[in-house]
Amino acid sequence: MKRIPTGVSDLDGIIKGGVPVGSTVLLFGELGAGNIDFAYTSAAKLIISKLQPERKESLLGYACRESVLPEKVVYITFSRSKDDILREIENAFSEEFYNSISENVIFKDFSQDYFRGTVVPARWSGESDVPSFLSKSSERNILEGFVNYVDSVGEGAMIIVDSLTDLLINESINPNDVVMTMKGLQRVSKKWNGVVYFLLTKDVVERSLEHMIVDSVDGVFSFTWSKQERSSRRQRYLYVEKFTSLFPHLGDSKIARFVTMVTVDGGYIVINMERI
């Protein structure tokens, strides 16, 4: 089975080189626990490895030597601007990370349609002459625009969707339509030979809706903070909560959770693996 690296080398080493090609993966995280850092790290390291093949093994690890790299990286946002995202990356990570993303990632900003009909002024969400992927009969249905766009760029791509949280809290969007869209993406992504990452913040929507979202993807990486209140330093953890094709490898190594941190040069990294 072909795999696409996550860009977190210690994780990829355990799961035999990355996630299966065609996967839809939920990056399900508590606030600040690392899901967005994971997405940035994955994008940057995979781009650098593609541009500089001689560095692939050192960046991604020996386990990824036979793994495939996406043809392109697409970042879809609904409420955040490209400039805001790049500014965040520039302030948090190395110049190499920033340059790899700013120069090579394809950004698609749906904020103009996302904020339409809200109290947010049109001038706050972008220029009015931005091309739209929505049909005239859709009455600016943002999910239709999203589907049309990913269908046009999905082949061979790593797609980061930032974020499901934005879609689920928008009163003009039916949450059931979001779930059905994800189920459709889960099916068609197998033909695209890429990977789709969905960002979702924990405890924002009802638990039943969270469960429906989890049921609509191939895999779930869960990002949490340590619950030890007496600890002098808060610790981040990564769990693989759902991924049928990866669980046997985790079981063989008796991995319960990954202890993680975020660094300027390495991005999101694993610093320890706690065994059962």
Query: What contacts 34, CB < 8 A, 6 or more positions away?
Result: 223, 236, 238, 260, 262, 268
Separation of CA 194 from chain center: 13
Predicted pLDDT of residue 127: 53
Predicted pLDDT of residue 139: 42
Predicted pLDDT of residue 252: 61
Residue 211, Ramachandran bin (φ over 0: left; ψ between -120 and 50: alpha; else beta): alpha
Predicted pLDDT of residue 123: 75
Quickly list DSSP for 203-215. Answer: TSS-HHHHHHHHT
Predicted pLDDT of residue 224: 95
From the CB of residue 78, how many other CB atoms can be counted at a distance below 10 Å? 22
Residues of the chain with pLDDT under 70: 126-140, 228-233, 247-255, 276
Please report the domains of the chain, with CATH numbers, ordered by start residue.
Answer: 3-275 (3.40.50.300)
Helices 142-153/175-192 angle, 10° precision: 10
CB 232 within 8 A of CB 43: no
State pLDDT tens for residues 168-180: 999 889 999 999 9
Predicted pLDDT of residue 244: 72
CB 192 within 8 A of CB 158: no
Predicted pLDDT of residue 59: 95
